[in-house]
Structure formats: C-alpha cells, structure tokens
Amino acid sequence: NKCTFSQTARGVYENLMDFGRFGLEDEDEDDSAIQYVIEQSLLESTKQKETPRGSTVKTSRGSDSPSDISKIFSTIGHGNEEVLKDLCAKHKDKFLQSDSKGWIPLHEAATQSNPNILQLTYESSGPGSLECRTPGGQTPLFLAVEQGLIENASFLLEHGARPDCLDQDQDSPLFVAIRSERTDLVKLLLLHGSSVNQMGYHGRRPLHEAARGGKPGLVTLLLEAGAHPDPRSNYGLTPLALAAQGGHLEVVETLLKKGADVLSQAQDEASVLYEAAASGNPDIISLLLERGADANVSNHTGHMPIHRAAHRGHLQ
C-alpha cells in the first residue's frame, strides 16, 4: 500500500530526527531508540488501516455503471471541458461516488491545472464534497495545496473548504505549503483562517516545520501572523532547538529576537546549545553563548554540548 508505506517512512524519519540525540557512544541505547520508533510507526500504520478517518463516500455498486464513473475521472484527467459538461448533466448523481482508489471526482479535479474543470466538477458535486476524504485523509483542498495549485486552493477556500483539515499523517495544508516553500499558499491559507499555531505530527506546529527546514522568510511570516515563538513538540523540542540543530543561523537569530528561550530543554534534558553542537556552526554556538546559553548543561545521559560536538567531529 503506497499510502501506508509513505506514512510509515515519514514517521520513522521524523522520529529519528527527534530521537537522534539520545546517547552518543552507547550503541545499545541507540538501537533501543531506533527499534522503539520503528515499532511505533508500524503500530500507527496498523491503526490507520483499521480506522480510516474522514467522510465516507459512496462506492459504485449495484445498478451504477462503472464505465460512467471511469469516464468522469478520465474526462477530468484529460481536461475535456465540453465532455465534462455533458457528463455533469447526465450523471450528476455519480459525482459523490468513489473510484477504485477511494477518490471522488472532486479529489481528481483538485489535482488538475485547469480551474474550469474544478469548477464544473464542484457544481455537480455540491458543498458536501469539500470535506470528503481520500483513504489517506486528504480533502480536495489538501490535494490542491499538495500539487501547488493556488488557483484551485483559492477556489475551494472561497467555497467553504476548511483550511485546517488534518490527514492521517497529522499534516494540514499549511504544513504542506511550508514544507514546499510556497509562500503564496501559506499566505492564502492564513488569509482564510488557517491556524498558525495548529498542532500536527508529534505536537509540532507550523513554526517547527519552517524552522527545521531553515526557511527564514516563512518563519518571519508565521511569527507576524501570530505564531508563538517557543512552542514545544511532544518531545519538548522548540523551533529554536530544531533551527540550531540544522545549522540555520538566520532562523536562530529571528527566533531569538522574538523571545525564544535560549535555555529551554527537551524531554531528554538536551539544551538548545546541545542541539547546536550537532550542526557544527560556530556562529550559532557563539550567538547562543552570547544570549546566555550554558555550555555545562548536560542531557539525561550526562553528555554536554562539547561531547556532542566532538562526537560529530566538529573541532572549531
């Protein structure tokens, strides 16, 4: 199952990013942490299979002709407006039925670059279709943002699509737009009421995503829109810690100016300076020390920033 594999792979990656600092020289401890996150990710994947989220859509069965459903999807995919108009008139009742992968026509139309196709499909689907979800939990708006189609996203939002719909990965359109570095989509979603402090995967907020990716423009945009400068993930990581860990100096500077806590510690007691030591960026380390970071604060295993820097081979 492609969708399930993607969710599991992302889960392992995100967890390893958070757990990667546990232990420096104790291989058994590292192995335990890695085994734990793999087990957790597989467990989440199993739960997703057993309890799919979102609105239910009708499947084609009984007297419904599968060829009609297939023709609707094919016409949408080929962008044939005239044929689609005819299908809308003759088979309007089919537009809330799903295909073999669990999509309704509006899902398909949301991923197409022709906004006229989206409008025609929506008019035959009705407002209720805006919140219909794929088996992976994506709404038409989510799919439009994922494809980077701002006209489609704008159309769906203007017709009442909820901007903060979470999929089964606990992603929202705003998280996706940030990850794709689509400032225009981020602005659009915020304009239509997307929560700048929405909690997503492992308790991370949009600011975590922008800081971890080293996107200073988006970090500034989110802060100006009201993002809290110092939210904590489920593991106690702040955007400042993630930016320091990634070596993103400009993001670190921006967050500190907005009041991010240089002395914050994660659940494993790792400090922001400890995270910065992993990046080997001397400018970030110097800045944190200037702002009052303590080089002698250890994590739960007794390792200090200097230990982590040495372990990573950073000699400066």
Q: Do domains 68-195 and 226-315 have the same CATH topology?
A: yes
Give residue 309's pLDDT.
Answer: 77
Q: What residues are paired with 132 via a beta bridge?
A: 55
Query: Taking the model in full, what pTM does it have?
Result: 0.79
Determine the pLDDT at residue 308: 80
Mean pLDDT lowest among 52-66, 144-158, 159-173, 270-284: 52-66
Question: What gap in Å lies between CA 268 and CA 150, rounded to an integer?
Answer: 41
Q: Which two tokens stand for residue 54?
A: 């979102």
Q: Give the mean model confidence (pLDDT) for residues 61-68.
A: 57
Q: Domain locations in the chain?
A: 68-195, 226-315
Query: Residue 12: is its pLDDT beyond 90?
Result: no
Tell me if 84 sits within 8 A of 121, measured CB to CB: yes
pLDDT above 50 (res 5): no
Residue 67 is predicted with a pLDDT of 85
Query: Does 50 or 192 have the greater pLDDT score?
Result: 192
What is the per-residue pLDDT across 254-303, written as a single tens digit (0 to 9) for each? 999 999 999 999 999 999 999 999 998 999 999 999 999 999 999 999 98
Angle, helices 249-257/282-290, rounded to nearest 10 degrees:
20
β partners of residue 55: 132
pLDDT greater at residue 27 or residue 121: 121
Q: Which of 48-57, 91-100, 161-170 has the lowest mean pLDDT?
A: 48-57
Q: What helix, strand, coil percent values describe the chain, rounded to 5?
A: 60, 5, 40
* Residue the block writes with tokens 């995100």: 14
Cα separation values, 14 from 18, 38, 41, 200, Å: 7, 11, 10, 12
pLDDT given at position 34: 47
Banded model confidence at residue 14, pLDDT cuts 50, 70, 90: low
Nearest to 175 by CA among 216, 150, 149, 146: 146
CATH number of 68-195: 1.25.40.20
Residue 184, pLDDT above cutoff 80: yes
- Residue 55 tokens read as 């609105």
Query: pLDDT at position 310, please?
Result: 75
The position carrying tokens 């009421």 is: 193
Work out the percent of the chain whose per-residue pLDDT is above 70: 77
Strand partners, 265: 271
| Mean pLDDT score of the chain | 85
As given in the structure block, the two tokens for residue 32 are 């335990």
55: helix, coil or strand?
strand
Q: Quick one: pLDDT at residue 312?
A: 67
Q: What is the mean pLDDT of residues 35-63?
A: 44
Res 39: pLDDT:
46
Could you read off the pLDDT of 83-137 as tens digits, one per residue? 999 999 999 999 999 999 999 999 999 999 999 999 999 999 999 999 999 999 9
CA distances from 272 to 219, 294, 302 (A): 18, 9, 15
Q: What is the mean pLDDT of residues 34-47?
A: 47
> Domain 226-315 belongs to what topology?
1.25.40
Whole-number pLDDT of residue 2: 38
- Distance, in Å, from the CA atom of 161 to the CA atom of 58, rounded to the nearest integer, reads 20
